[in-house]
């Protein structure tokens, strides 16, 4: 990738830059990633980066947009043609886990952006991602209630919060343990416990 990055069209150069940031975030604290480090990883000059991005914030916004588009698209593919809302929720849960396992730098960046006190374009992108994710999940939960797979009295908003929080908890623990791949092993059992709490068959 690094050798080809010197002679790429603008769109491909931007895509390669985004991938470089995702790769670097898997190896170090995202807040410490500099444009110099990105350029070095790509084997290009900083000047060439700034021909495609006006500043570092623009790079981060492009990265967050990449994350949002890829994650949401993966989730939609995972639930496609699944008639059972509960089965779709499980597919959504596992596809999210797989995405994190494949891109361990992504949660580091997401957590980092959400912790920033100021509002940045990248932080807004993360907030939009979480909102869209929550709306998709909320729709599945309401379908589950309508089809009596989930408790009819279930608080859908609370169930969304718990679902997202469960994923985040798994991710955080795997990061603390230094073993992101472990989330694939732990996720099925954790989702089963979540399902017991929201299911109609209790």
The total of other beta-carbon atoms located within 10 Å of residue 121's CB is 14
Q: Which residue has the tokens 């006190």?
A: 117
**pLDDT for the residue 189:** 96
What is the C-alpha separation between 42 and 14, in angstroms, rounded?
A: 11
Q: Give the pLDDT band (50/70/90) at residue 9.
A: low
Closest CA relative to residue 72, chosen from 89, 88, 90, 95:
95
Strand partners, 150: 199
At the top level of CATH, which class does the domain 1-53 belong to?
A: mainly alpha
3-class state of residue 117 by DSSP: coil
**Cβ atoms of 76 and 67 closer than 8 Å:** no
122-159 pLDDT, tens digit each = 888 888 999 999 999 999 999 999 999 999 999 999 99
Of the chain, the percentage scoring pLDDT greater than 90 comes to 63
So where are the chain's domains? 1-53, 55-198
Classified by CATH at the fold level, domain 55-198 comes out as Tetracycline Repressor; domain 2 (1.10.357)
């Amino acid at each position: 990738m690094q050798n080809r990055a010197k002679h790429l069209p603008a769109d491909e150069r931007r895509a390669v830059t985004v991938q470089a940031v995702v790769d670097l975030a898997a190896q170090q604290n995202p807040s410490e990633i500099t444009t110099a480090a990105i350029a070095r990883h790509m084997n290009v000059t900083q000047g060439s980066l700034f021909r495609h991005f006006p500043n570092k914030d623009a790079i981060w916004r492009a990265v967050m947009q990449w994350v949002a588009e890829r994650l949401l698209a993966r989730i939609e593919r995972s639930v496609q043609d699944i008639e059972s809302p509960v089965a779709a929720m499980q597919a959504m849960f596992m596809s999210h886990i797989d995405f994190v396992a494949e891109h361990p730098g992504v949660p580091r960046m997401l957590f980092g952006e959400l912790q920033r006190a100021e509002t940045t374009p990248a932080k807004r992108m993360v907030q939009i991602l979480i909102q869209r994710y929550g709306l998709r999940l909320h729709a599945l939960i309401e379908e589950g209630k309508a089809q009596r797979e989930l408790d009819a009295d279930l608080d859908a908003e609370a169930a969304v919060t718990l679902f997202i929080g469960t994923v985040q908890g798994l991710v955080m623990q795997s990061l603390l343990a230094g073993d992101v791949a472990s989330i694939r092993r732990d996720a099925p059992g954790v989702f089963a416990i979540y399902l017991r709490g929201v299911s109609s068959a209790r």
